[in-house]
Amino acid sequence: MENKNIQNKIEEKETDKNRIDNRKQSNKIKFTNGHVQGIFFILGAAFFFSLMTFFVRISGDLPTMQKCFFRNFVAAIVSGYMVLHSKEKLRVLPDSWKYLVIRATAGGLGMICNFYAIDHLDISDANMLNKLSPFFAIIFSIFVLKEKVNKYEWVAVIVAFIGALFVVKPSFDLACMPAVVGLLGGLGAGIAYTFVRKLGKQGERGIIIVLFFSTFTCLLTLPFMLFDFHPMTVAQWTSLLMAGAAATGGQLCITAAYTKAPAKEISIFDYSQVIFAAILGMLFLDQLPDVYSMIGYVIIIGSAIAKWCYNLKQSAETEEE
């Protein structure tokens, strides 16, 4: 009898150990072919978007609205071609129109702020401030998507914003204004991504969202560009058209990435955009982030990684249940 009890205890311990091992294993990403493709595409998107910021910067002393127009003009042409050659053509879900307008307005204003920051900050700093958008999206998802935010996510948001202070370097003069505007760009992008999620949940096509945003922002910036148009050299025309092409490549890559693997499992690789931007800035613009910015990068990306790991763990536990 005693031997049987001992045997039962041994079996229970082995069962518990197997359960723990299985849980640890389930918390890891299972790198299928889809995950590899998704990571490849999201790295491609990060590279293209960093190229976009680079070309916007080297286009020189041109009005922000003029740069924004050309950035979206190329995307509007490409996405329009793709929509017209799709089976459903220009069909838009009836409930989508108001959310498309809100998404485009928030995204357009965020883009204008981001482009202003690109012209006045190191491009790595401008990219980092724009990458605060997922943390802003957490906040706005409470009101737009009625999602509940737990204490771990709140901690991630607070830590990320502390990191942002190192990048912004607030002061009592106007020296920090470009960084504040860049922060507002991240805010606008966060609102826009929240409504992209809402549109996606109700079944709207991604290419329609891209086309509407690109066309809307072209129309938004066109009057300002015509009122204050600056003649451009061949090099400036080339730079802005390349910025538009890079942005289009980024949008297509990121759309492809999230069709290959869940966002929660690959989104962290999007932060490689900051690394690409920093490399381009150092090689071609003689830009080197200062110590405070580097500390901010580590805090923000570290917070994103911690949130990513937590989401994976929660998802694995949900699947087990």
Alpha helices per DSSP H over the chain:
2-26, 33-58, 64-84, 97-120, 123-130, 133-144, 151-168, 177-201, 206-227, 234-260, 263-266, 272-284, 291-320
| Arithmetic mean of pLDDT over the chain | 85
Give mean pLDDT, residues 202-211: 88
Kindly report the pTM of this predicted structure.
0.83
Question: Is the distance from CB of 50 to CB of 242 less than 8 angstroms?
Answer: no
**Residue 192 belongs to some domain of the structure:** yes
**Residue 242 belongs to some domain of the structure:** yes
Question: Structurally, how many domains does the chain consist of?
Answer: 1
Question: Is the distance from CB of 167 to CB of 129 less than 8 angstroms?
Answer: yes
Res 50 pLDDT > 80: yes
**Residue 45 belongs to some domain of the structure:** yes
**Residue 16 belongs to some domain of the structure:** no
Lowest mean pLDDT among 28-37, 58-67, 202-211: 28-37
**Residue 6 belongs to some domain of the structure:** no
**Residue 9 belongs to some domain of the structure:** no
**Residue 55 belongs to some domain of the structure:** yes
- The whole-angstrom distance between residue 296's C-alpha and the CA centroid of its chain comes to 17
At residue 169, the pLDDT reads 87
**Residue 174 belongs to some domain of the structure:** yes
Question: Is the distance from CB of 53 to CB of 117 less than 8 angstroms?
Answer: no
Domain of residue 250, residue span:
36-320
